[in-house]
Amino acid sequence: MSGMKHRAFPEGFLWGASTAAHQVEGNNTNQWSEWEKANAKYLAANAYSRLMIDAKKYLGWDVDWEAVKSRAERPENYISGDAADHYRRYKDDFMILKQLNLNAFRFSIEWSRIEPEEGKWDEDEIEHYRRYLHELKQQGIEPIVTLWHWTVPVWFAERGGFERQENVRYFERFITKIADELGDDFSYVTLLNEPNVYVYASYLIGQWPPEKRSALMAIKVYHNLQIAHKRGYAMLKQRHPAMKIGIAFALGDMQPAQPRNMLSRLVATVAAYMQNWWYLNRISKELDFIGVNYYMTTYFTWRGVMQYSQAPKSDAGWHMEPKDLERVLLATWKRYRKPIIITENGLADGGDVHRQWWLEQTIEAMQAALAKGVDLRGYLHWSLLDNFEWSFGWWPKFGLVAVDRKTMKRVVRPSAKWFADFIKQTAAKSTNTNGTELRAPAPKQQQLSRRHGK
């Protein structure tokens, strides 16, 4: 163990990991799997320009090309295929959750499995998720259910997906079906995952399906995803009043590159408003908690140019500043005064060189936020397993648990063992909150010793 002190977290704190159906289940047929098949060769052939030029320009990624090129240049890298075979191995994976002392698990229900053709429900698939939820319950693990993590049935995409407001009714019908069939088996929902990232990548920079580049369309889809959330919230509340319904939203830490320059500060404020607050402001009444997905900090010059710090980089070329989570938690709390769950947080680190440090820094950030009165209820690491990283494919490794894709063997990474020990010693007081009320934790004066500098 490191020199961290074992301070208590609030009672009932959720310690868990997150996944998404398309990234781990295997053999999904949806708009994304079709896109992969059509584009794998192109993505492989253009890996250099996509990663070293586009990703740098649009996302601030600064990838070590030499380290990834052999994988990034292979078409197979871009096919999700049998993924991590989680669809069949979920029981084993839940055993791993137990082994890691985790008491919560976030996953998504794949719409294209439940309704592969318009209006036709696949009862076997509903049954699959019923068994899945029961298994979690049996293991004493709190399910946190995402109803849309970017993938949709092919027929829905063909009708224009969320580009058309009238299509929201299809999504509503799907989640109503889930609420009726399975709603008694879970109490936490992150209705939508990161509509902001989806709209940016699919409609502004046009790198994800359906690869459109239109500000007008982006605004339209963003608006329709607001409607989807609001209607979904109302429907779920009506059927399951006790359900805790939130969102998993990508909240970046936007900072001025020149803190003394007023314009630089203004640009950072506007950027934070655009990425973080614009959407949340509009659905804030329809949120029982806010799910924070935090990965990185972005700096803005007075000219509006994105910059990154000198902080060490993960395999994905993201500068790692895990401590900045505290600022994001404070800003979110200050704005909305709603309970917060960190629904995603993690890094691509195949060699497991930085993950323990990342976790330590993150725990310190959470302690600091709690001490300042933030009503933080849980932490879900991204991800449980190495998984399919969307248009970048398989090379980034985000798992607490490594997956050998030939044998599908799972190997718990050393950082995950450290995390499991930490939870046991520090947070063993956390209990399964299933059925209990969301209650404000008593803020404590807590400090953890700093093990590493930034």
Instruction: Determine if 389 is a binding residue for ligand BGC (CB under 6 A).
Output: yes
Nearer CB in complex with ligand BGC: 289/398 = 398
* Strand spans (E) along 287-354: 289-294, 297-300, 306-307, 340-345
Tokens of 407: 């044998």
Nearer CB in complex with ligand BGC: 20/363 = 20
Longest dimension (CA), the chain: 60
Long-range contact pairs involving 62-65 (C-beta distance under 8 Å, separation at least 24): 62/308, 62/313, 62/317, 62/319, 63/315, 63/316, 63/317, 64/313, 64/315, 64/317
Site string for ligand BGC, 215-254 (x = CB under 6 A): -----------------------------------x----
Contact window for ligand BGC (CB under 6 A) among 37-45, 180-188, 192-200, 207-215? 192-200
Q: Of these, 44, 197, 221, 340, which contacts ligand BGC (CB under 6 A)?
A: 197
How far is residue 93's CA from residue 383's CA, in Å, rounded to a whole number?
A: 12
Contact window for ligand BGC (CB under 6 A) among 193-201, 259-267, 322-330, 411-419? 193-201
Judged by CB under 6 A, how many residues of this single chain contact ligand BGC?
Answer: 11
Instruction: Determine if 382 is a binding residue for ligand BGC (CB under 6 A).
Output: yes
* Residues linked to residue 297 through DSSP beta bridges, in sequence order: 253
Instruction: Determine if 344 is a binding residue for ligand BGC (CB under 6 A).
Output: yes
Least gap, CB of 149 to ligand BGC (angstroms):
6
Residues 6+ apart with CB under 8 A from 366: 9, 325, 326, 329, 342, 376, 379
If phi > 0 it is left, if psi is from -120 to 50 it is alpha, else beta; for residue 167 that is: alpha
Q: Which of residues 395-424 bind ligand BGC (CB under 6 A)?
A: 398
How far is residue 413's CA from residue 410's CA, in Å, rounded to a whole number?
A: 9
How far is residue 295's CA from residue 251's CA, in Å, rounded to a whole number?
A: 8
Contact window for ligand BGC (CB under 6 A) among 156-164, 191-199, 368-376, 408-416? 191-199
Nearer CB in complex with ligand BGC: 293/430 = 293
Nearer CB in complex with ligand BGC: 80/367 = 80
Least gap, CB of 359 to ligand BGC (angstroms):
16
From residue 431, alpha-carbon distances to 255, 333, 380, 383, 423 in Å are 36, 24, 15, 21, 11
Tokens of 410: 């799972």
Nearest to 374, CA basis, from 429, 336, 348: 336
Instruction: Determine if 168 is a binding residue for ligand BGC (CB under 6 A).
Output: no
Nearer CB in complex with ligand BGC: 321/389 = 389
Residues 6+ apart with CB under 8 A from 44: 72, 73, 74, 75, 77, 78
Least gap, CB of 379 to ligand BGC (angstroms):
15
How far is residue 93's CA from residue 132's CA, in Å, rounded to a whole number?
A: 11
Least gap, CB of 49 to ligand BGC (angstroms):
20
Q: How many helices (H) and strands (E) does the chain have?
A: 16, 13
Site string for ligand BGC, 272-311 (x = CB under 6 A): ---------------------x------------------
- Locus of tokens 């009165």: 373
Least gap, CB of 388 to ligand BGC (angstroms):
8
Nearer CB in complex with ligand BGC: 324/389 = 389
Nearest to 227, CA basis, from 203, 191, 177, 197: 191
- Locus of tokens 């690869």: 211
How far is residue 339's CA from residue 284's CA, in Å, rounded to a whole number?
A: 12
Contact window for ligand BGC (CB under 6 A) among 34-42, 190-198, 200-208, 435-443? 190-198
Least gap, CB of 389 to ligand BGC (angstroms):
5
User: Which amino acid makes up residue 141?
Assistant: I
Q: Of these, 20, 47, 218, 342, which contacts ligand BGC (CB under 6 A)?
A: 20
Least gap, CB of 197 to ligand BGC (angstroms):
5
Contact window for ligand BGC (CB under 6 A) among 189-197, 272-280, 303-311, 405-413? 189-197
Nearer CB in complex with ligand BGC: 55/448 = 55
Q: Of these, 151, 193, 276, 298, which contacts ligand BGC (CB under 6 A)?
A: 193
Instruction: Determine if 386 is a binding residue for ligand BGC (CB under 6 A).
Output: no
**Secondary structure element (H or E) that encloses residue 449, with its range:** none
Least gap, CB of 433 to ligand BGC (angstroms):
23
Nearer CB in complex with ligand BGC: 343/430 = 343
Chain positions contacting ligand BGC, by CB under 6 A: 20, 23, 193-194, 197, 250, 293, 344, 382, 389, 398
